[in-house]
Amino acid sequence: MPGSIRVFGWLEMARTADTLLEDIQGPTPGQMLRKRIFGHQGLLFGVAVLGLLLLVAIFAPLLAPHDPYAQDLLARMQPPVFLGGSWEHPLGTDHLGRDYLSRLIYGARISLLIGGFAALISGLIGTAMGVAAGYFGGRVDMAVTFLINVRLAMPVVLVALAIVAVFGGSLQVVILVLGFLLWDRFAVVMRSSTLQVRSREYVTAAQAIGCSTSRVILSEIMPNIVNNLIVVVTLEMAHAILLEAALSFLGLGVQPPTPSWGLMVSEGKQMMLFEPWLVAIPGITLFVLVLAINLLGDGLRDVTAPENRS
Amino acid sequence: MLNFILKRLGLAVLVALTVSAISFSLLFMAGDPAAALAGEQATDVDIEAIRRLYGFDRPMIVQYWEWLSRALQGDFGESYYFRLPVSDLIMERLSITMTLGVCGISFALLTAVPLGVVAAIRPNSLIDRFALFLSVMGQAMPSFWFGLMMIVVFSIQLNWLPPSGTKTWVHFIMPTIVLGYYAMPAIMRLTRAGMLDVLGSDYIRTARAKGAGEGRVLFKHALRNAIIPVVSLAAVQMGFMLGGSIVVESIFALHGAGYLAWESIGRNDLPTVQALILIFSMFYIVFTFLSDVLNAWLDPRIRVA
């Protein structure tokens, strides 16, 4: 019997030699991935805009035409160029005569710093909890699920406002508060991703040959759930940026004179009746940044999803 | 079913207790409450007297227990700022927040579900793209900015709608749209995904094959199944919205519970803040509990898991 199987095998191979050759000459997985990436408009747009804003934030001192903190009380609320202003202040000046474009450029730093670090902290907390719950199950899982429930039950904006009010609104406090509040989605997604991967053969195999728990988690489980993690990172980064803006808008986030976009909207609100652009402009930049991050996240999910690989 | 309800109820109670402990501890995170109450001019003797009067000198666990047992009877203590019972203050304001929340979630459901259904019936059509566009915009738009822009356009430029206040239902139009738009994208996406999933299933093919009308297939067979996860999402969103109405209420100067929370935080009025955190959490816990029970009743598979 073994012999006949072998004969059949050879016949099979001969018959499929042509198709095999086609398979070999077909696109490699890398090429297919590249094709999926460059065929995804949203992803490309997100990467381009986010990259541009990152560059703006990094090179803010070189790009800003003025000092974002320098007041010029003789040149207050000058309109932007497109509303009849001068090129001296392309986006006009605010109620203290500070150059709006320069504040906007430095504001990109605040938003990206807060978004990035808040997502980093909450990502570390949430991933550790979620992976532990998914991998160990049982009591660990019950405890983590309970903590997720507690966290979801607390009104984020209210709790964040109350804590910032207690500790004062510095950049560090806002980052920490958001980082310690926004881990819930990380925990939920990482828990279910780990549950899916945990019973796969390669995990069992690693356990069988005696790999340590940390090794199984770090080199067998993590690489296989990191796609989902990246998508959640983008979502939570966008979430943190919007929340910081809302907190600063309510006066209990980053404090003046820091050029936070949310704070700029709040300061412009007083003059909204006559100078609506003071509110419109920082809101638009905020919208564009969050849109770019969301499109990047959606795109990454589309591109890396296994069901799109056929 | 009873087993499921009891288990779920136990979880809800435990979560509620934990949240209450966290919001209680906020009082002590803020530093010495007696010193805050006494004001800047107070001497050490005054502070000590206030500490005795309010019972801050007792062990924390005793104070927590007393606060909790009173809170369960609806007594949240006295506001530091108004010198009035916190529960009276909140009851007075809660109706506005509740109205806003109900209007917001209704607006979100009434726009998101039909859009999601149509988008799923005709994938990649113009309506599908429009729905996707709306949801992408909604997810990226800061709600406080959206609200202000609506005021600029509809109150200042066009003079159609009042920018603030709560006198008539007209005052609630813009706040409802701003708050509802925040919940819309997620509901729309979930409805669309659920409908797409269901429309590809075997029992829909069977229903069509036996000659059921398209309307009957869509609403009686498909939507009924696709809507189950939407119900639980809407409950979660409703809980988030009540907590998140603080932003909308501050923009449109609606003097609801969210506005009270914002003012109280600014005034360091901790009993009011504690009570509001607890009440908003309770809403979330009750809504999610009810939706879980409703789902278990609609879908027997959930009861087992």
* Superfamily of segment(s) B89-269: MetI-like (1.10.3720.10)
Residues 6+ apart with CB under 8 A from B14: A146
The answer to whether B244 contacts chain A (CB < 8 Å) is yes
Give contacts of B253 with chain A, Cβ < 8 Å. Answer: none
Structure tokens at A131: 């992976």
Asked if B203 reaches chain A (Cβ–Cβ under 8 Å), the answer is: no
Token digits for A310?
């056929």
Give the H/E segment covering residue A115: helix A100-136
Residue B261 to residue A161, Cβ atoms within 8 A: yes
Banded model confidence at residue A20, pLDDT cuts 50, 70, 90: low
pLDDT band at A16; cut points 50, 70, 90: low
Q: Which of A19-28, A87-96, A146-155, A225-234 has the lowest average pLDDT? A: A19-28
Q: Where are the domains of chain A?
A: 44-308
pLDDT averaged over every residue in chain A: 85
pLDDT of residue A185: 92
Reference A237, options A150, A154, A296; nearest CA is A296
The model's confidence at residue A17, banded by pLDDT at 50, 70 and 90, is: low
CA distance A21 to chain B (A): 36
Q: Which residue has the tokens 């009104």?
A: A155
Tell me what pLDDT residue A308 has.
53
pLDDT of residue A3: 44
Q: If 0-12 CB within 10 Å is exposed, 13-18 middle and 19+ buried, where does residue B41 land?
A: exposed
Q: For the domain with range A44-308, which CATH number is right: 3.40.640.10, 2.30.30.90, 1.10.3720.10, 3.50.50.60?
A: 1.10.3720.10
The pLDDT assigned to B108 comes to: 92
**Phi first, then psi: what are they for B85, rounded to 5°?**
-60, 130
What was the pLDDT predicted at A2? 46
DSSP A78: P
Instruction: Measure in Å the smallest separation between the Cα of B188 and chain A Cα atoms.
Output: 16
Q: Does B121 touch chain A (CB under 8 A)?
A: no
User: What are the tens digits of pLDDT across the range B186-214?
Assistant: 899 899 988 888 888 888 888 888 887 77
Of A37, A64, A226, nearest to A131 by C-alpha is A226
Residue A210 Rama label (left phi>0; alpha psi -120 to 50; beta): left
> Which among B188, B283, B201, B203 is positioned nearest to B245, based on CA atoms?
B283
- What's the pLDDT at A4? 46
Q: What is the pLDDT of residues B214-231, one digit of tens each?
A: 777 887 778 888 888 888
Q: What is the pTM of this model?
A: 0.87
CA-based max dimension of chain A:
98
> Is it the case that residue A84 has pLDDT exceeding 50?
yes
- Rg of chain B, C-alpha, whole Å: 24
pLDDT mean over A227-243: 91
Single-letter code of the amino acid located at B18: T
Question: Average pLDDT of A107-132?
Answer: 94
Q: Which residues are CB-neighbours of B81 under 8 A, at least 6 positions away?
A: B264, B267, B269, B272
Q: Would you give per-residue pLDDT tens digits along chain B (305 residues)?
A: 888 889 889 999 999 999 999 888 876 776 667 776 676 677 788 888 887 777 777 777 888 888 888 888 888 888 878 888 888 888 888 888 998 999 999 999 999 999 998 898 888 888 888 988 888 888 888 988 998 998 888 888 887 877 777 777 878 889 999 999 888 998 998 999 888 888 888 888 888 888 877 777 887 778 888 888 888 888 888 888 887 789 999 888 888 899 999 988 888 888 888 899 999 999 899 988 988 888 888 777 766 65
Kindly report the CA angle at B272 between B167 and B101, in degrees rounded to 5? Answer: 40
Q: Which of A122, A120, A143 is nearest to A133 (CA)?
A: A143
The helix-helix angle for A156-167 and A171-181 (nearest 10°) equals 150
Residue A191 scores a pLDDT above 90: yes
pLDDT tens digits, A202-223 = 999 999 999 899 999 998 899 8
A-contacting residues in B 258-277 (Cβ below 8 Å)? 258, 261-262, 265-266, 268, 273, 276-277
